[in-house]
Amino acid sequence: MSSTLRIAVSEEKGNVPVTILQLTGDLDGKTYSELETKAGEIINAGASNLLFDLSGVGFMGSAGMRALHGISNKIKTAGPNGSAGQMKLLNPSDAVSRVFKTLGFDQHFNIHRDLDEALKSF
């Protein structure tokens, strides 16, 4: 039994261009490096506003949290000329929200419940 993660990438034009990464599957010790690699490619290609749609994530392990934190560090200097980019999260499941709350990540990350509202917040 192995966990898998699918990452679908799309673009939305709001006030600023936002890259949406829609995650489906488990974000854990086996899959987090795929997310790191993908997000790294997207940031290196010039994107500085990332929205992670977590509605399809069934299980979030500490390795997944670490990956999200690492990406949030990277995005801090991803804007034009090294300015700060933004990273936000959309719709974590109840189980994933509980993990965020226990670890205290809910205070650190910008978490939204509605796509339009999330896009407008960038």
Partner 1 sequence: MPENEAICRHLRNSIFLSAASEETILELSSQVEFIEAAAGDRIFEKGDLGSALYFVVEGSMRIHDGDIVLTHRGAGEAFGEIGALAALTRTASVTAEIDSQLFKLDKKALFDTMARRPEAAYSFIEALCQRESAMVHDATERAVKAKVTERELAIAQKIQRNFLPDVVPDVPGWKLAGYLQPAREVAGDFYDFFVIPKLGCVGLVIGDVCDKGVGAALFMTLFRSLIRSTSMYRDFVGNDNNADDVTKILQHSIRLTNEYIATTHGQSSMFASVFYGLLIPETGQLCYINAGHESPLIVGASGIRTKLEPTGPVIGLFPDVVHEVKIVEILPDELLVAYTDGATDAKNAAGEQFSEENLLALVANGAPTGGAMVHQIVATVEAFIGGADQYDDITVIAASRGSIE
DSSP state for residue 113 in the 8-state scheme: S
Shortest Å distance, C-beta 22 to partner 1: 22
The secondary element (H helix, E strand) that includes residue 39 is helix 32-44
Instruction: Please tell me whether residue 14 binds partner 1 under the rule CB under 8 A.
Output: no
- Footprint on residues 43-102 left by partner 1 (CB under 8 A): 59, 61-63, 65-67, 69-70, 73, 101-102
Instruction: Please tell me whether residue 37 binds partner 1 under the rule CB under 8 A.
Output: no
AA letter at 95: A
Read off φ and ψ for residue 111, nearest 5 degrees.
Answer: -110, 125
Shortest Å distance, C-beta 104 to partner 1: 2
Question: For residues 61, 106, 113 and 69, what is the CA-based torsion angle, rounded to 10 degrees?
Answer: -60
Binding residues for partner 1 (CB under 8 A)? 1, 29, 32, 59, 61-63, 65-67, 69-70, 73, 101-105, 107-108
